[in-house]
């Protein structure tokens, strides 16, 4: 076992760079086996410069060729596998000088998909966080911002399209079938925002006018056969541009904006300045091959990456500890955009519920586990492991709390001041907070604790009603469990929207600011005992410790005017009953029935309200988790709802049809969601004709949402028609990579079903399938990640077979793609909360992976933290 301690980076150790860069000129001779990279860099003394300090450039997996300074060959340097240190600089480095480096990289061998790599014969880059050092020797850190001029040269037959950041300056035909394109980005940027793309691609393009009247060229580049699937992405991009102008006054600043889609990509997408590179999953969509969820995700991710043009690119991070400065803020912006696109207040509520569900299912467990960290971490070993739901989704919730505290206008004032102060700079989370505070003349000092403390705060609610005095007394007590390096937590500044619900409906919504460990409020002239509706719209990312009677919860579930808390009350009721292994009683079934029959409610809201809490969220409510027991209790509860409401499900299935041409609009998508939930419930209730209904829907569907939902219902419930339809689905869509990902994922996430092959056996068989590729992240996620991370009841088997499969997969993936392997490694990081025998089986699997001497730094950090070593 490798006992060498990994290197840690600490936020408080930050020093400005000794040197910074002015103009950077890059020249690429693109070849899959040996790409020659020539760089010409203007070097300037930096803020921490001292005379005689060497210039240390990062570089990995590069073949060094030559070095020149101010045009002269330079031999005073030291080369290691990680760096190029240049000594004996002109005038001890006191004056600007020019460094010229020639090196070679091998894109076709780059399976990590970081730096410059080849996918399906085309060239792509991914430089965030530290991929640029795999392209050439450089100061690969976000606070070194330079202007780039890039020339790409390649064989025209193989790479007719040559793209880079910024504006196109020139295209030139060269001898022997080569050609070149020169691009210039007028805005300074860090190296992580550099991008190039070259290959056989085609584009859809539009020219629009910005708010100032300037013409902007928008292009989406894809492989030729995918061109017909780009319209929705283009519409989403146009909508994003106009929304950002209207909401925040931020205009597209380049002559053109480009998106490129690639099937081999570690992330969802990347916001490289003016040249966004996307996973095909978040660009390609047409009704026959993409679900409503795909259409919504494309809209959201396209918006997210475009919004980074200002929140991330024009103003970027001083260092990677500040990652949430750009990601949390931009997630908030894309959530607000998507909510506005829903077109109604009920639509906004649906979007809010979906975002909170994601936070609770993924981020709350992270906050309670060994990888817990503040949204601005103080230390890391491998930066790729900090692209987490804490930095993104919890970071977004922290930004949302600014808006809750300051109001929408106050938040906009803070944003305006932030850009006025910091445009073109690399800054910190503190700079953002100060802009918000100064613009609104308020003290946000205590709010900083959200940036520095890990864990999810817990707020205990104590209430008392004095009928004689007509007073309602409310006491809130906040706490936060200890985490690594933080035994004692300071009080948070927690904004809590609340309202007292009475039959008179005469109490307004109020905002309470919980800043002390314990605070009390008294409300006068309350004529009856109210029902407390608190943390409305999920105004703060907290655990709410509130012991409510089932009568009060039923009242909220039936009539709370806050859509989020209405949904929340139903979730609480269901959760309590499932964890107590109870079936829904007549009152709860009645409440469900009334909700389903309520014509004033959005179908999408009904779908969410009748969807039970996820198994993984139920785990978070237990001191000792027995996965099979929770699965069985939840399945029995669902079966009871399905059976008791059988007539309603049948009626809804017929009412929620969407005849005619497919449209991804929110109302149609909500109807399809409720219809397909109804179909699943009819199969759950063992209605004899339900499987035939699902088969008919599968065969006759004119869109992927309905076809895939019908197939899913058949597979999940073990219907006899499942195998035939699965085979048909594969044959229909064998040429559609993203659809085949769905085919793999559906089988990998199937829960245990009597008289059906064990899911693990299915997954092992799928790994041997001719269409499975271990070097394609999407395919790995659709099979291995889907089983280990999205199929709790199938994965957590008492014999430990799922954990053995996990260990085999992590060890197989790590040499190919450490980032993807590290994300898979997270599947067991909370092993200590599980009951026996699961706990011992998990620990044994973790120790087997830890014993590998050649683990990447990415995986080793996750495993060592999980084991507490």
The pair of structure tokens assigned to 175 is 């001898």
In DSSP terms, 789 is beta-bridged to: none
Q: Three-state SS for 507?
A: coil
Q: Rounded to 5 degrees, what angle do the CA atoms 616, 622, 624 make? A: 105
Q: Is the backbone of residue 537 left (phi > 0), alpha (psi -120 to 50) or beta?
A: left
Output the DSSP codes for 777-845.
Answer: HHHHIIIIIHHHHH-HHHH--TT-HHHHHHHHHHHHHTTT-HHHHHHHHGGGTTGGGBPTTHHHHHHHH
CA-to-CA distance for 6 and 758, rounded, in angstroms? 39
CB of 328 within 8 A of CB of 399? yes
3-state SS, 110-175, equals CCCCCEEEEECCEEEEECCCCCHHHCCCECCCCCCCEEEEEEEEEECCCCCEEEECCEEEEEEECH
- Phi then psi for 814, rounded to 5 degrees? -55, -45
3-state helix, strand, coil in the chain (%, to 5): 45, 20, 35
Sign of the Cα pseudo-torsion (356, 362, 363, 364, in order): positive
CA-to-CA distance for 61 and 81, rounded, in angstroms? 7
CA proximity to 505, closest of 560, 453, 428 = 560
Q: Rounded to 5 degrees, what angle do the CA atoms 492, 494, 495 make? A: 160
Q: Rounded to 5 degrees, what angle do the CA atoms 311, 312, 317 make? A: 120
Residues in the chain: 869
> CA 413 from chain center: how many Å?
27
CA proximity to 390, closest of 370, 402, 375, 380 = 375
CA proximity to 396, closest of 415, 414, 412, 375 = 375
CA-to-CA distance for 679 and 660, rounded, in angstroms? 20
CA-to-CA distance for 794 and 657, rounded, in angstroms? 33
Catalytic residues: 305
**Enclosing H/E stretch for 456:** none
Place of tokens 């070993």: 381
The pair of structure tokens assigned to 224 is 């030729």
CB of 634 within 8 A of CB of 612? yes
> CA 495 from chain center: how many Å?
25
Q: Three-state SS for 398?
A: helix
CA proximity to 163, closest of 177, 145, 147, 150 = 150
């Amino acid at each position: 076992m490798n006992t060498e301690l990994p290197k840690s980076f600490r936020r408080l150790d930050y020093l400005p760079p000794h040197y910074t860069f002015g103009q950077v000129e890059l020249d690429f001779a693109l070849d899959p086996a040996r790409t020659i990279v020539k760089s010409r860099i203007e070097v300037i003394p930096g803020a921490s410069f001292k005379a005689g300090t060497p210039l240390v450039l990062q570089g990995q997996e590069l073949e060094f060729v030559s070095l020149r300074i101010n045009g002269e060959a330079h031999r005073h340097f030291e080369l290691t596998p990680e760096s190029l240190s240049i000594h004996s600089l002109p005038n001890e480095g006191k004056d600007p000088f020019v460094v010229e480096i020639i090196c070679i990289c091998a894109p076709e061998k780059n399976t990590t998909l970081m730096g410059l790599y080849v996918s399906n014969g085309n060239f792509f880059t991914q430089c965030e966080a530290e991929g640029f050092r795999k392209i050439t020797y450089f100061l690969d850190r976000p606070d070194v911002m330079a202007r780039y001029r890039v020339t790409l040269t390649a064989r025209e037959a193989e790479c007719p399209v040559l793209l880079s950041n910024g504006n196109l300056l020139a295209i030139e035909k060269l001898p022997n079938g080569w050609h070149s394109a020169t691009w210039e980005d007028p805005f300074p940027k860090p190296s992580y925002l550099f991008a190039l793309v070259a290959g056989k691609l085609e584009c859809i393009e539009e020219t629009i006018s910005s708010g100032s009247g300037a013409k902007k060229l928008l292009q989406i580049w894809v492989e030729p056969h995918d061109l017909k699937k780009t319209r929705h992405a283009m519409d989403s991009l146009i909508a994003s541009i106009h929304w950002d102008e209207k909401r925040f006054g931020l205009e597209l600043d380049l002559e053109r904006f480009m998106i490129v889609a690639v099937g081999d990509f570690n992330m969802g997408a990347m916001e490289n300045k003016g040249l966004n590179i996307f996973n095909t999953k978040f660009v390609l969509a047409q009704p026959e091959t993409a679900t409503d969820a795909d259409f919504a995700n494309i809209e959201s991710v396209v918006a997210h990456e475009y919004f980074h043009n200002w929140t991330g690119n024009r103003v970027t991070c001083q260092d990677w500890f500040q990652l949430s400065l750009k990601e949390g803020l931009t997630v908030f912006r894309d959530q607000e955009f998507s909510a506005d696109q829903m077109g109604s207040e009920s639509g906004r509520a649906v979007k809010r519920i979906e975002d909170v569900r994601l936070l609770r299912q993924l981020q709350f467990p992270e906050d309670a586990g060994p990888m817990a960290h503040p949204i601005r971490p103080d230390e890391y070993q491998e930066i790729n492991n900090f692209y987490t739901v804490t930095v993104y989704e919890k970071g977004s919730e922290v930004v949302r709390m600014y808006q809750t505290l300051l109001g929408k206008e106050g938040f906009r004032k803070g944003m305006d001041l932030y850009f006025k102060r910091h445009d073109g700079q690399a800054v910190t989370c503190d700079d953002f907070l100060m802009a918000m505070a100064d613009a609104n003349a308020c003290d946000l000092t205590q709010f900083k604790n959200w940036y520095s403390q890990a864990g999810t705060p817990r707020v205990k609610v104590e209430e008392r009603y004095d009928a004689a005095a007509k007073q309602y007394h409310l006491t809130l007590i906040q706490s936060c469990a200890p985490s690594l390096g933080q035994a004692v937590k300071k009080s948070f500044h927690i904004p809590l929207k609340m309202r007292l619900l009475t039959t008179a409906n005469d109490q307004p919504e109020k905002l309470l600011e919980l800043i002390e460990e314990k605070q009390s409020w008294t409300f006068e002239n309350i004529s009856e005992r109210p029902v407390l509706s608190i943390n409305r719209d999920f105004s703060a990312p907290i655990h709410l410790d509130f012991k409510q009677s089932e009568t009060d919860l039923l009242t909220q579930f039936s009539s709370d005017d806050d859509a989020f808390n209405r949904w929340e009350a139903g979730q609480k009721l269901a959760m309590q009953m499932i964890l107590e292994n109870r079936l829904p009683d007549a009152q709860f079934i009645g409440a469900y029935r009334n909700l389903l029959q309520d014509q004033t409610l959005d179908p999408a809201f009904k779908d969410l309200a009748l969807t039970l809490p996820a198994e993984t969220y139920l785990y978070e409510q237990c001191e000792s988790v027995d996965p099979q027991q929770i699965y069985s209790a939840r399945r029995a509860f669902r079966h009871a709802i399905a059976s008791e409401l059988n007539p309603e499900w049948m009626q809804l299935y017929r009412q929620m049809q969407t005849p005619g041409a497919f449209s991804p609009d929110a109302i149609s998508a909500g109807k399809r969601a409720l219809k397909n939930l109804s179909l699943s419930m009819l199969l759950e209730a063992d209605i004899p004709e339900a499987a035939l209904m699902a088969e008919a829907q599968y065969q006759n569907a004119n869109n992927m949402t309905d076809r895939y939902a019908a197939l899913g219902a058949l597979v999940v419930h073990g219907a006899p028609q499942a195998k035939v339809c699965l085979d048909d689905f594969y044959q229909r869509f064998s040429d559609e990579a993203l659809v085949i990902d769905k085919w793999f994922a559906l089988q990998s996430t199937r829960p245990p079903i009597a008289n059906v092959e064990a899911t693990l056996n299915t997954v092992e068989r799928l790994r041997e399938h001719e269409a499975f590729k271990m070097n394609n992240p999407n395919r790995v996620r659709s099979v291995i990640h889907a089983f280990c991370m999205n199929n709790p009841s199938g994965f957590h088997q008492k014999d430990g077979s799922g954990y053995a499969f996990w260990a085999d997969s992590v060890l197989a993936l790590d040499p190919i793609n450490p980032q993807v392997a590290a994300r898979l490694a997270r599947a067991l990081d909370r092993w200590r909360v599980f009951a026996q025998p699961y706990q011992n089986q998990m620990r044994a699997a973790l120790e087997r992976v830890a014993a590998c001497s050649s683990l990447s730094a990415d995986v080793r950090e996750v495993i060592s933290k999980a084991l507490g070593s």
